Amino acid sequence: MKVAVVTGASKGIGRAIAKALAKEGYKLALGARSVEMLEELSREIGGAFYSYLDVSKPESVAEFAEKVLKEFGGVDLLVANAGIPMGGRLDEVSEEDMKRVFDVNTFGVWRTIKAFLPSLKERKGTVVVVTSYISTMILPNAGPYVASKWAARAITKTFQLENPEVKFIELRPGKVDTYFYGKPGRKIEEGFMKPEDVAELLISLLKLPEHVLVEDVLFRSIY
């Protein structure tokens, strides 16, 4: 049975991915800050390992990885999904907010991959990084978020070149109905996909033949 780690598993896209992976028979290690939500998810999917994880804190990532590797002995799939929004003009955003968004969306991805990389290399595993459709585009008033996702893309691509034995897939969703935009409840007709759509896409990618590498996927609602 393969072992999958999902960061940001408490809500939204990460939660939907965790549920879909459980259905496919993966053994799961779930990480996020909201441990109660992870506990509830674990119960819902019939039991999964979960632990507090703050990807913005190096010591939290190290502790999480140590616990997961101790529990399972290794991992086959890492879904680096945890992320936060951060809008604002670049000439107005505070030093603190700029650092915060990079610490989660960029350094968080780097730290998590780095922590699990030796095991992923050993098992010829797969890393899925949830960046954004925005990771090659520019938008005004969203510079902090956009820059953090461009950098996360660069990190993902660099890891791939340096570690050809591991597959790195960059998922670049358009708008998804999660807590990202406040409370979920938006309609598909308003241009939102469902978190389950992202999970379904990921599962289909994981079922491709071994020799196929999908480097990135840009996808959105048709509306």
Minimum CB separation from ligand NJP for residue 150, in Å? Answer: 12
Comparison of 83 and 144: residue with beta carbon closer to ligand NJP = 83
42 binds ligand NJP (CB under 6 A): no
Cα 213 from chain centroid? 18
* 28 DSSP β-pair partners: 4
Minimum CB–partner distance for residue 5 and ligand NJP (Å): 12
Phi, psi of 211 (to 5 degrees): -80, -5
Strand segments, DSSP code E, in the chain are: 3-7, 27-32, 49-52, 77-80, 126-130, 167-173, 216-219
CA 117 vs CA 2, 24, 57, 152, 207: distances in Å = 16, 23, 18, 16, 22
Residue count, binding to ligand NJP (CB under 6 A): 30
Nearest residue (CB) to ligand NJP, 143 versus 173 = 173
The 49-78 contact track toward ligand NJP, x by CB under 6 A, reads: ----xxxx----------------------
For residue 112, state whether it binds ligand NJP (rule: CB under 6 A).
Answer: no
Interaction between residue 218 and ligand NJP (CB under 6 A): no
Among 49, 88, 180, 214, binds ligand NJP (CB under 6 A): 180
**Whole-angstrom Cα distance, residue 108 to residue 62?**
11
